Amino acid sequence: MNFILLYLKDLLFLMLDALTLSLQHNWKVLLFAISIAVILKTYVDTNRLSEILLKRKKVSIIASVLFGTFTPLCACGTTAVIIGMLTTTMPWGPIMAFLTSSPLMSPDGFILISGVIGLDFAIALTVASIMIGLASGFITMAIEKKTSFLDNQSRFSEKESLSKCNCGNDNERKEIFIKKLKLKELLHNFIFLGLKQILLFYSIFICIGSLINHFVPASIISLLFGAESFFAVPLASLIGLPLYITTDSAIPVIQSMIQSGASQGAMLAFMITGSATSVWVIAGLTTFMKKRAITLYVAYVLIGGIVSGYLLDLISLFI
């Protein structure tokens, strides 16, 4: 019993050392990323902004991708926007474009990835987010236009209005999407978004990363996920598929894996599928989307993650 307690104590100190060291090196980047996320959360009305971006049907897919990629929406925020889209007559193309791009990247995520992993990886994930969103949007548009595959795949009736999604009344929609200065709301978001979400999950995943480095030899990681392994990218994608991670929280694990010999392409694939799909995400989607739409979404994410991972590894050979 004493041996077990001493061993657990050693593991605890191992995780605390890794956490302390990471925060010493990355606290400026982390603070800047938290500040960006909190400011955008406080002062940008995403409902009004999405309404502006998605107004023209011809550019709705591109607007959906840009909105999904460059706004810091959490899972609840993404769900709220998707429900708003589904309760209007908006086609499935923009919905899929937003749904596949939104979880992958955000301004604070870009800052954190650039500072902790590297600018090249942050750019790769941003480009992948945009490409996956655009591809899924336009492919879905073609499917909806030429087949009946997506007919009746929303659990909302067409008669339901956007106002039923709690997205704001007519008077609220007339307001500009930049909110007035609200210091109390800013402090609230800093505590609950910045500290209790971003910092907390970042710290948890630093501890997970330290345990991976401790228990899994670098040779095993390099063998399974190294650039020399052809199956590294699809394996990483499949492992990430059922997990619940966020882009911000996964950064320490990705960094640890890369340092142990994993290829950036495999880790990019893992981050894409891990951020966009999980058991909990799929369970949430079933409340307002039906089987064929969900299957199509998962296929987009999985294929997009694999293709993006292989492309990054291929590009890395020539750089």
How confident is the model over 86-141, as pLDDT tens digits? 655 568 888 888 888 888 888 888 888 898 889 999 999 999 999 999 999 999 99
- The whole-angstrom separation of Cα 217 and Cα 98 is 39
Per DSSP, the three-state class of 179 is coil
- Ranges of residues in the chain with a pLDDT under 70 are 1, 33, 40, 44-59, 72-90, 155-181, 205, 209, 213, 216-219, 244, 280
Q: Which long-range contacts (CB under 8 A, 24 or more apart) does 253-257 make?
A: 253/205, 253/208, 253/209, 253/212, 254/117, 254/121, 255/116, 255/117, 255/209, 256/209, 256/210, 256/212, 256/213, 257/209, 257/212, 257/221, 257/225
Does the pTM of the predicted model rise above 0.75?
Answer: no
Residue with tokens 């500040």: 35
Angle at 266 between CA 282 and CA 133, to 5 degrees: 50
- The whole-angstrom separation of Cα 22 and Cα 25 is 5
Tell me what pLDDT residue 52 has: 60
Task: End-to-end CA distance of the chain: give it in Å, rounded.
Answer: 53
Write the DSSP symbol of residue 180: P
Tell me what pLDDT residue 162 has: 38
Contact 217, 253 (CB under 8 A): no
